[in-house]
Amino acid sequence: MRCPSCGAMETRVIETRTADEGRVVRRRRECPECSSRFTTYEKAEEKRTLRVIKKDGSRETFGRDKIIRGIGRACEKLPVSLEQIEDLASKIEDDLKAEGYGEVSVSEIGRRVMEGLRKINQVAYVRFASVYREFTDLQSFQHEIARLIGEKEVSRNGEED
pLDDT digits (tens, 9 = 90+) for 109-161: 999 999 999 999 999 999 998 888 888 888 888 888 888 888 877 777 765 54
Quick one: average pLDDT of 25-29?
Answer: 93
pLDDT at 161: 44
Contacts of 1 (CB under 8 A, 6+ apart): 11, 29, 40
Q: How many CB atoms lie within 10 A of CB 5?
A: 13
**What angle in degrees, to the nearest 10, is found between the helix axes of 122-132 and 138-156?**
140
Percent of the chain at pLDDT exceeding 70: 94
> Which pLDDT band, with edges at 50, 70 and 90, does 6 fall under?
very high
Quick one: average pLDDT of 44-59?
Answer: 84
H-assigned helices in the chain? 64-74, 82-98, 106-120, 122-132, 138-156
| CA nearest neighbour of 50 among 101, 110, 89 | 101
Helices and strands per DSSP (H, E), number in the chain: 5, 6
pTM of the model: 0.65
Lowest mean pLDDT among 40-49, 82-91, 130-139: 40-49
Say if residue 47's pLDDT is above 70: no
- Degrees, nearest 5: CA angle 23-122-72: 45
| CA nearest neighbour of 39 among 50, 47, 31, 27 | 27
Say if residue 99's pLDDT is above 70: yes
Phi-psi region of 98 (alpha: psi -120 to 50; beta: other; left: phi over 0): alpha
> Which pLDDT band, with edges at 50, 70 and 90, does 107 fall under?
very high
pLDDT at 28: 95
**What angle in degrees, to the nearest 10, is found between the helix axes of 82-98 and 64-74?**
140
